[in-house]
């Protein structure tokens, strides 16, 4: 049995937008932070970011577009999906994205005042 599950926490790089077609889908990107370790060549640890494309369908796409904004910290759970296509010049292009099954705000750094 093969399992294709991924969970990421990152920040939205743009406002999610619903497509104009019949199918309800939104595509957006998140920035996932990581650190470059201090080495002999690198004097200090530096923050880096990986950018990951995310795809959501149906009612979830509608809910995401109405409730999340650029900069929001989110938790994404879903499956990795490999896309391949030819561009206008005939060159092959590819990317890996996440087809999300669950998206929600991350409260990791939020202060809760009660």
Q: Answer whether residue 68 is part of any domain.
A: yes
Q: Is 7 exposed, middle or buried (0-12, 13-18, 19+ CB in 10 A)?
A: exposed
Domain membership of residue 35 as a residue range: 6-105
- Give the number of domains in the chain: 1
Domain CATH code at residue 43: 2.40.50.140
Q: How far is CA 83 from CA 15, 56, 73, 99, in A?
A: 23, 15, 26, 11
Q: Answer whether residue 28 is part of any domain.
A: yes
Q: Answer whether residue 101 is part of any domain.
A: yes
What is the full per-residue pLDDT of the chain (114 aa) written as tens digits?
A: 678 899 999 999 999 999 878 889 999 999 998 877 777 776 677 778 899 999 999 999 999 999 999 999 999 999 999 999 999 999 999 989 999 999 999 887 765 555
């Amino acid at each position: 049995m093969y399992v294709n599950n991924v969970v990421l926490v990152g920040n939205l790089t743009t406002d999610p937008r619903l497509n104009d077609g019949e199918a309800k889908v939104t595509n957006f990107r998140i920035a996932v932070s990581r650190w470059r370790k201090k080495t002999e060549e690198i004097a200090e640890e530096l923050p880096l970011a990986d950018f990951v494309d995310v795809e959501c369908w149906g009612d979830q796409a509608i809910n995401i577009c109405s409730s999340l904004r650029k900069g929001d910290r989110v938790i994404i759970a879903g499956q990795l999906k490999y896309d391949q296509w030819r561009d206008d010049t005939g060159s092959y292009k590819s990317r890996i994205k996440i087809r999300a099954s669950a998206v929600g705000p991350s409260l990791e750094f939020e202060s809760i005042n009660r």
